[in-house]
Structure 1
Amino acid sequence: MSRRRACRQFQATGDCEYGAKCIFSHGDNDNRPPDPPNPLREWRLNLPRPGARTRPIDHAVFFQAGLDLVQSDYATMQDAVLGLASYGGLVRVTEVLEKHEKVGRAAQDIYVQGELVPLFSMITHPSVVSCPLLEKPLVDVYNVIHGPHGIRAANVFLFLTTTIDIGNHSKDTLENRFKTLFHTLAQVILHNGSANINAQLVPIVEVFVDKAIEMSQDMQDANMDGVRKLADKLNRLLNMGKNITLADKQTVNVKRGKAKFVQHQAAPGGRHDNDHSDVRDIQILPTFDEINSQHPEYLPIQGQERDGLTSFEALIDRHFRLIREDTVGQLRDAIRTSLQTQQGNGGPRATGGPRTNIYGGLTLVDVVFLRGSGIELFVRINQPVRADAARRKNFWERSKRLQKDTLVCVTNVGESHVFCVVSNQGRPVQTQMRNNRQPPEDPAQTERLQKHNASNLYSKADGAYFTLKPVFIKPAGLAALIASTNWSALTKLVEFPGVLLPSFEPTLSGLQSMLRTDDIPFTDVITANGQDEIRLSIPAYARAPGFSFDLSSVTSPGQQLSFLPRADFASHTLTSRSTLDETQAKALIHCLRTSLSLIQGPPGTGKSFTGIALIKVLLAAKRKAKLGPIVCVCFTNHALDQLLEHLHEHGVEQIVRVGSRSKSKVLEDVNLRTIASKAELTSAEKHANWQLHQALDEDVKQASTLLDKLHKAHHTKHVEEHLRLTNPAHHVELFQGEMLEEGWQQVRNKKSDPLLKWLNERSANTLRTRPRSIEELQTATLQSMTRAERRALHESWITEIREITIENVLTASDSFHESQKEFGKVRGEIDLRCLQEADVVGLTTSGLARNLPILRNLRAKVLVCEEAGEVLEAHILTALLPSLEHVVLIGDHQQLRPQVQNYELSRESVRGAKYSLDVSLFERLVHDPSGTQPKIPYCTLETQRRMHPSISQLIRNTLYPALKDAPNV
């Protein structure tokens, strides 16, 4: 029997992190076979703990083992990086970074290749960089590398500038090492706001950028594309003053167009508090000052760029302002009209067209804090139908007013406004979290909810009851909203029927984030100006020597055919071996050898058929080219369902459909939410999930308790607590009894309420004619006050209690929403793992904008967009993920243009032609109506199979002179 002391950790948990190496006894388990080796656990043993002695280690072995862990399974990768970002891991990172000062010249290559490269490879590994759960831990590591004022980064990378080419290594090894070092330097700069102005780092980055340009002279080397993009981005970020273009060279032929007369337009800024020169500073929903402003908004004119903006910045600036005017501008004008007209308190009235309803008699009934959404407001308005409940119900159901998620605005003439969405057509509903987790119960809040259980839009004749959730609101505005227990008669509710926040907010936010990240692909093409034609390059992944596409997936059975992008290829070879017609085969080949491809298809010519054939060929090359999932985007949910169903019919199985508005029975089991609900969580995700659930529960409990205190601010216990903290003298006098002479204290009857007694008892001082101010009363004795003074002081106490409580509610709300964001990252991590296993990911354009944070980490290289001629350019711009190397736009610019809400911004309007918001990117690249955009090569499908020849003749004589009829129509 072992005489060793028992292991406390093993006794408590049944496990011990040291396993068989533990120096303490595990009881009967001492004789069991040794535990199988656990590389992660062994690696973690080298992480020093706070306060413990740091023992020396072999850094080369440590970081190489860490890199092996990162390159293993996904869960181990997460745990390894979390360990690296822990206290002990950051100690090891600091040690190896500061080691360069002691390394001799003979050992420099061993130090760089054996210690720094594995460390930097760990934190720049594609799986690590794209993991949402590791976003904060990575920032911690980059901050340590950066060091105070960037000194550590400057010293380390200055040393590395002298070691880029040292060592007896192959060209590929040196290139891979340089890419790792350069990528790490770029991430350190991008994650530290002060790095881009650090005088010590600028010359070091110049050396690395020059080396990147030198190594990427061969533009056909697909492996150097990432380095070229980083070099270009760092040049712009640091403003080095070099005119370096790392994209394919284009031939520029400037043409003089028609003479133009340009009217002067004042630059943005100063019109109101939401008018800024930089669109990143603009709030998406209008401010109160903006609503009341009489100045016209600044709207950029097509082809007219502002000074100080690059062509890319000007493009994003233009589309952000025009899209916002087309959507938010209508809301702004409608609210302004409602404030100016000052309508009465009757039922709903329409103003400014059918898109606006105004309701009077708005009253705040209750404020609650819910587990799923945070603060919500239970309100009532005047009932528009004075009839029985059945007729009221019929009115609300048929009118479809105040539907769930509808955008509304609470306005108060001359004071403020708050945007909300309709959360529920009745009382607030507590939602359950994932895994059937029950929200914490708060008795006071539950009692209030049950009190209004039967209150909804039609149940009561005295008013219509429903719940609002505030959106995009500043703390001051939310505080005023909660504090307003009795809204004035001038307070109204403006409804925007059919306007949903997700229909425009994600796109506008996406455009703002694009300016922050500055990593959109194909900017050289979409911002080109004054050129006759652009020569487009082969997709980067297809530039590898000897790369070829296997076309067997679209040929007849038994027909083998391949295609080399650099070689000549006769399209009739593909036509003779497949069901594609001549123009479809040409379009397919054109797309495979062009990084930005456009296919125009008149009605019935097989645009979708050609797109499916293209996707099948790309999927055949997915593994060889490391394409990742192919992202398929459509304008409508119906078109997306059709495309994905057709792919399923053609044998594509790994499909993920993102979005909840699918009506396809075939795609029910491949919806992202369905797939993610069945996914197993890693240990890191489970731990983060548990921590966030605890934090959310605590925030909800605290906020609910505070709201109950807000409702009962006048209760004696809250007044006593407030006085004990703010005015001890009044607290002692009121609740502990007056101090008498010789140290005696007057005793209060505990059964009576001392506060009520003090308020109601007759004052000894009845001769005072002028009430004293609150400031004077704060230092006076309570018994010396008149009844009026007592009530005034009591009201000031209640006001202070409410103000402090509301401030604490807002603090809890901020904490709640931060926890929700982190919770969303965990869910995004699970979604990302599901999407990475897909062959095809299908979304609508608005769905892509909503899921942009996840998709930017997907590392997809190919995007296919159908109906591109009907999609606003801003939606295509947000779809250009940083990782894309190949984009295919399929559409027809001679059919319907994108829809815009404001006719004054459309191409057909006399005033709107200068804005041309409804000109799609597809149309602008094929045939820019303004004549400023260069043409790019595109293919047109010419054989239609849908219309009778007598009908197709009508469009052949007008729009499509080359259109042909298939023999079978």
Structure 2
Amino acid sequence: MKAALYPARRKRLEKLLNDILHGKQKLSAQNNPHFIEAICAQPDAAACISNIISSPAGLASLQESMRFDLSTKFFNGSATNVLAYLQAPNLSDIGGGSLLNQVILKIVDPPIFWAQFILAFRTGQLQDGAQRCFAWLLFHLISTSSELSNPYLDVARDSTIVDQILVSPNPYISALGQKITHFLELRTASTTTTFHGDLAPGGRHDNDFDDFRAIAILPTADEISCTRAPFLRSSAELEDPETIDTRLSIYLDGLFRLLREDMMYEMKEELLAHSKKKGRRGLTIDGLTLLSIHCGPDGKRCKWGITLECAKDLSLFVDGELVAFPVINRDEDLLAKNPPILVLQLEGDVSTSNVLVGLKKAKSVKLIQINTAVFAFEPVLKALQEMRGMPLAPELLYWTPDEILRNPTSSPTHIINALTSDPRCDLRPLLGTPKSIILDASQAASLLSALSQKVSLIQGPPGTGKSFIGALLAKALVDYTDQTILVVCYTNHALDQFLEDLVAIGISETSMVRLGKANAKTEAMSLFNQSVQSRRSRADWTEIDALKARAEGLCSNLRVVFEQYRTSLSNSALLDYLEFEDSSFHDAFLVPSDEDMTTVGRGGRAIEKDYLLHQWGQGRDAGVFKQHTSVLEAADIWTLPTATRKSKIEGWKKAITAEQVEQFVTIAREYNETQTALARKFAANTIAVLQSKRIIGCTTTAAAKYTDSIQAASPGVLLVEEAGEILESHVLTALGEATDQLILIGDHQQLRPKVNNYSLTVEKGDGYELNSYLNSILDHVVFVLLESCSRDRTAAERKISPGYLAEAST
């Protein structure tokens, strides 16, 4: 038994911990081992880490504790204990992992501890426990948000490190090595596929990159005007044996580019209609004037935007040229002003830069409303870019007919055994349904396959009971497993109908929640009608307060930089620029000084600092200083013709504006990221509701929109109803890290998913197949086809009547 477990020692350790966290005692090399022991002795890791974050000296002390001793003994001892403690399962679930990320980033940044920990691993100094912690820490660092993970990707790509992890005799460590390798494949910017000329990704315009994650969702002006065909992948690439090592990255890359091209097609069509002044065109607002930036009122900040005043009582055109696709923030108070003020929110560094540079010199600004349903594309496209892994990849991308499909981790064996023994058995006593249920052969087979396989596909024409089988599956999983089920449909109508079927078959409304707009019968299940409340901890409020303070600071900085950008550039600003960027011109324009005398010009006024630059810019000589040594030494500058001088000044001003815009874009990005982090913190109530339910129902768009909250509930089963109408990308983004089972229900003979661009369809035959019926999945899954038809029985109560599914030929 560890000494720390004795009450007296525990009490002393807790006192030391509290004293250090609240600044009553200073952390030192002497008491550091006890400080770490005190942390690891806390029984509730979440409460302990929350206390560290919310305490005045908490994070700073933890950071310092990992730097006092960088010896091998420390790495194999105290450091391993801390990192093992941080692997408590509940820590990664809190706030989408934000609590854990704060602590880990404090430990590794700056990389005083991390650099030495890497060296110790590389040189074989770490014991098994420390190696396990190193592998876990490396995987966590690369799989956090993409921007935070970038500094650690090079370590993960180092073969001398990853190979050591992969060949470890410890199965946990080697499994982490597989996860790291798998994740790196997802982050691969380019693949081993060889392309030539225009066929290669990247380089067509300012938003075309090898890595699809670098592509801004909304197009840039340069992209819209580009005449070269976009880079798109055909579905055949997935079947090429030479691409098997990079198949996963090719798959995600291909889905993203095809879906985004479909969105782009609709946007281009609307712009074309406007330019030719024919067909349906969006609202046009001309004569706009740039006012300022908008971050929302005090205490209720929102993502930043620029404000434009209307001349009279949405792609953005400046001087007749398209510069960006902003989104209107409907601030009704500003819209009600006379004249109205519009708030435009800009996404992406390139588009923001283009707008600011264009507005700086603009003579006219015009806004055209584009009616493309970007809201239906954007969440899914972002989710594809942010995917850290692909659950069920062995089944969905690599499965071959000679392999046996894996079983789910948790399955209702009682039901499986009963149906295996007698497919015609009455399910009423097993599932507690209101009435008897007897299945025919194909329905029993479909139910069995869905319950016993990690991936299953149930197909059949209308009236064969597909939705009913789906309801039975949900009932069996709710009654006999502890899995949370995510139910996804394409339309709100289909979702409401399926949730009604679940209630009719005996699943309680209180165990289900519906995201999005509900109908009268499913209103009680609506997210907004749930009473579960999440109590925020002290650490939560500390983090929220810190994020709010950071947002306020960034908002102030944003306003300052924006005003600098809007103000006409002075000669003083030019001199400051030249001091660092062109010292020869800067030295030539320095006004000679004499400590004992003041030089005066006409009218007896003292010479200003920018006197020489002003003279030069006006095409004049150096005036009162034309015989000064510094001027004579810069004769090559002072003899430049006026046109050259004006061109130089214009170039400097452009460069300064570019610097200002770059600074603004950086601060704006950080501000929006802070707003996103705040929104995630305030989503705690939503997460609490989802975690309290067994079934979460939503449309495909809502599944992408609420990704973080849904995944915090860790749904183990994804059940997709009306899968025949859903694009493959929508199914993929509904998968989460905890997804252990995928059940697809649909009719492959009904209409394919809706696609705007005909050239991307199966019917066109160019190989892109955006509207294929789950093309990749179908190629890798054994499915069951329902054969019986009982179209006349549609109500859920009739579906579960005796003999409802008696075998009948279609």
TM-score computed with the length of structure 1 as normaliser: 0.63
Alignment correspondent of 2:179:
233
Q: How many residue pairs get matched?
A: 718
Report the alpha carbon displacement of residue 418 of structure 1 after superposing the two structures with TM. Answer: 0.9
Alignment correspondent of 1:895:
750
Alignment correspondent of 2:801:
none
Q: Equivalences for 1:479-494 in 2 at 5 Å?
A: 479-484=356-361, 486-487=363-364, 492-494=366-368
Report the alpha carbon displacement of residue 773 of structure 1 after superposing the two structures with TM. Answer: 3.8
Q: 1:705 to 1:101 in 2, by over 3 A?
A: closer
CA contact (8 A) 2:29 2:68 kept: no
SS class of match (2:205): coil
Report the alpha carbon displacement of residue 899 of structure 1 after superposing the two structures with TM. Answer: 0.6
Counterpart of 1:495 in structure 2: which amino acid? Q
Report the alpha carbon displacement of residue 323 of structure 1 after superposing the two structures with TM. Answer: 1.2
Residue of structure 2 aligned with 1:918, choices 753, 757, 771: 771
Residue of structure 2 aligned with 1:376, choices 297, 303, 306: 306
How many Å separate the matches in 2 of 1:285 and 1:310? 27
Q: Does 1:408 align with 2:374?
A: no
Q: 1:479 to 1:323 in 2, by over 3 A?
A: same
Report the alpha carbon displacement of residue 879 of structure 1 after superposing the two structures with TM. Answer: 1.5
Residues 710-736 of structure 1, C-alpha deviation per residue, up to 9 Å, x if partnerless? 77x47xxx97997998999xxxxxxxx
SS class of match (1:580): coil
Alignment correspondent of 1:820:
675
Counterpart of 2:323 in structure 1: which amino acid? H
CA contact (8 A) 1:48 1:54 kept: no
Alignment correspondent of 2:50:
78
SS class of match (1:378): strand
Unaligned runs of at least 5 residues, structure 2: 1-9, 144-148, 186-195, 297-301, 430-434, 580-592, 601-605, 608-613, 626-641, 795-806
Q: Does 1:302 align with 2:235?
A: yes
Alignment correspondent of 2:87:
124
Alignment correspondent of 1:215:
none
How many Å separate the matches in 1 of 2:92 and 2:422? 42
How many Å separate the matches in 1 of 2:777 and 2:691? 31
Residue of structure 2 aligned with 1:500, choices 351, 367, 373: 373
TM-score computed with the length of structure 2 as normaliser: 0.74
Residue of structure 1 aligned with 2:282, choices 353, 357, 366: 357
Q: Does 1:62 align with 2:62?
A: no
SS class of match (2:251): helix
Q: Equivalences for 1:754-773 in 2 at 5 Å?
A: 773=616
Q: Does 1:539 align with 2:385?
A: no
Q: Equivalences for 1:790-801 in 2 at 5 Å?
A: none
Q: Does 1:327 align with 2:246?
A: no
Residue of structure 2 aligned with 1:655, choices 495, 504, 512: 512
Q: 1:189 to 1:507 in 2, by over 3 A?
A: closer
SS class of match (1:691): helix
Report the alpha carbon displacement of residue 924 of structure 1 after superposing the two structures with TM. Answer: 5.6
Alignment correspondent of 1:774:
617
CA contact (8 A) 1:538 1:565 kept: no
Report the alpha carbon displacement of residue 855 of structure 1 after superposing the two structures with TM. Answer: 3.6
Q: Does 1:420 align with 2:326?
A: yes
Report the alpha carbon displacement of residue 895 of structure 1 after superposing the two structures with TM. Answer: 1.5
How many Å separate the matches in 2 of 1:860 and 1:532? 28
Greater per-residue helix proportion: 2
CA contact (8 A) 1:656 1:671 kept: yes
SS class of match (1:841): strand
How many Å separate the matches in 1 of 2:478 and 2:198? 50
Q: 1:53 to 1:501 in 2, by over 3 A?
A: same
CA contact (8 A) 1:291 1:336 kept: no
Residue of structure 1 aligned with 2:463, choices 573, 588, 604: 604
Counterpart of 1:422 in structure 2: which amino acid? I
SS class of match (1:130): helix
Counterpart of 1:541 in structure 2: which amino acid? S
Identity of aligned residues (%): 21
Q: Does 1:590 align with 2:563?
A: no
Unaligned runs of at least 5 residues, structure 1: 1-35, 104-110, 165-177, 213-225, 240-262, 344-348, 384-388, 390-406, 431-448, 457-464, 543-547, 550-561, 729-738, 747-753, 756-770, 783-787, 927-932, 949-961
Query: Could you say what the CA RMSD is over the residues aligned between the two structures, in angstroms?
Result: 5.1
Residue of structure 2 aligned with 1:476, choices 345, 353, 370: 353
Q: 1:96 to 1:798 in 2, by over 3 A?
A: closer
Q: 1:857 to 1:38 in 2, by over 3 A?
A: farther
Q: 1:158 to 1:776 in 2, by over 3 A?
A: farther
Query: Which protein has greater RCO, CA pairs closer than 8 Å, 6+ apart?
Result: 2
How many Å separate the matches in 1 of 2:472 and 2:621? 82
Alignment correspondent of 1:571:
423
Q: Does 1:187 align with 2:120?
A: no
Q: Does 1:618 align with 2:490?
A: no
How many Å separate the matches in 2 of 1:513 and 1:669? 33
Counterpart of 1:916 in structure 2: which amino acid? E
Alignment correspondent of 1:511:
384
Report the alpha carbon displacement of residue 477 of structure 1 after superposing the two structures with TM. Answer: 1.5
Q: 1:942 to 1:228 in 2, by over 3 A?
A: farther
CA contact (8 A) 2:724 2:748 kept: yes
CA contact (8 A) 1:654 1:840 kept: yes
SS class of match (1:377): strand
Alignment correspondent of 1:260:
none
Report the alpha carbon displacement of residue 369 of structure 1 after superposing the two structures with TM. Answer: 1.7
Q: Equivalences for 1:305-316 in 2 at 5 Å?
A: 305=238, 310-316=246-252
Report the alpha carbon displacement of residue 283 of structure 1 after superposing the two structures with TM. Answer: 3.0
Residues 521-542 of structure 1, C-alpha deviation per residue, up to 9 Å, x if partnerless? 222222247x556531210234
CA contact (8 A) 1:483 1:806 kept: no
SS class of match (2:369): strand
How many Å separate the matches in 2 of 1:368 and 1:781? 44
Q: 1:945 to 1:193 in 2, by over 3 A?
A: same
How many Å separate the matches in 1 of 2:39 and 2:66? 9
Q: 1:528 to 1:369 in 2, by over 3 A?
A: same
Q: Does 1:53 align with 2:28?
A: yes
Alignment correspondent of 1:866:
721
Residue of structure 2 aligned with 1:520, choices 390, 393, 405: 390
CA contact (8 A) 1:632 1:843 kept: yes
CA contact (8 A) 1:150 1:198 kept: no
Report the alpha carbon displacement of residue 419 of structure 1 after superposing the two structures with TM. Answer: 0.9
SS class of match (1:632): strand
How many Å separate the matches in 2 of 1:236 and 1:703? 39
The farther-off stretch of 857-866 and 576-585 is 576-585
SS class of match (2:231): coil
CA contact (8 A) 1:699 1:816 kept: yes
SS class of match (2:294): strand
Q: Does 1:844 align with 2:699?
A: yes
Q: Equivalences for 1:390-469 in 2 at 5 Å?
A: 408-410=315-317, 417-424=323-330, 428-429=331-332, 453-456=337-340, 466-469=342-345
CA contact (8 A) 1:706 1:805 kept: yes
Alignment correspondent of 2:211:
278
CA contact (8 A) 2:395 2:781 kept: no
How many Å separate the matches in 2 of 1:362 and 1:533? 67
Q: 1:721 to 1:496 in 2, by over 3 A?
A: same
Residues 176-221 of structure 1, C-alpha deviation per residue, up to 9 Å, x if partnerless? xx7x77645643675522222445524421332x542xxxxxxxxx
Report the alpha carbon displacement of residue 564 of structure 1 after superposing the two structures with TM. Answer: 5.5
Question: Which structure has the larger Rg?
Answer: 1
How many Å separate the matches in 1 of 2:319 and 2:477? 57
